[in-house]
Amino acid sequence: ETGVTQSPTHLIKTRGQQVTLRCSSQSGHNTVSWYQQALGQGPQFIFQYYREEENGRGNFPPRFSGLQFPNYSSELNVNALELDDSALYLCASSLYGTGREKLFFGSGTQLSVL
């Protein structure tokens, strides 16, 4: 158990809809990163939040957005869903968000876009 919880575990949406995924980070961690993992691929970095500010973003369009709250929990929002957005979405928390730290991942949200 990593202490990182994600909800919901599974979600089915239709193309064009919007979705919000949630993540509670491990106690004491103030950094949250989000990853998208397509079937058979490694996780792809979406963005990272450190103390409520976005401080890094991968190669994802603006319709992928996020928030981090004062308690360091986080949301990932995806607008105008496309079929290719079907994937496992992973949230990871760490203390400072440096590349040297151990990341603690949740079990993910499996999103299916029909």
Partner 1 sequence: LAKTTQPISMDSYEGQEVNITCSHNNIATNDYITWYQQFPSQGPRFIIQGYKTKVTNEVASLFIPADRKSSTLSLPRVSLSDTAVYYCLVGGYNQGGKLIFGQGTELSVKP
How far apart CA 108 and CA 71 sit, in angstroms, is: 20
Two tokens, residue 67: 């928030």
Q: Which is nearer to partner 1, 16 or 106 (CB)?
A: 106
Q: Among residues 111, 86, 89, 114, which one has the least CA distance to residue 4?
A: 89
Smallest distance from partner 1 to CB 61, Å = 17
Q: Which is nearer to partner 1, 24 or 48 (CB)?
A: 48
Smallest distance from partner 1 to CB 108, Å = 6
- HSE, CB side, 13 Å, CA atoms: give it for residue 21: 31
Q: Which is nearer to partner 1, 70 or 102 (CB)?
A: 102
Q: Which residues bind partner 1 (CB under 8 A)?
A: 2, 4, 31-33, 35, 40-45, 48, 50, 55-56, 58, 88, 90-92, 94, 97-108, 110
Q: Which is nearer to partner 1, 43 or 78 (CB)?
A: 43
How far apart CA 3 and CA 88 sit, in angstroms, is: 18
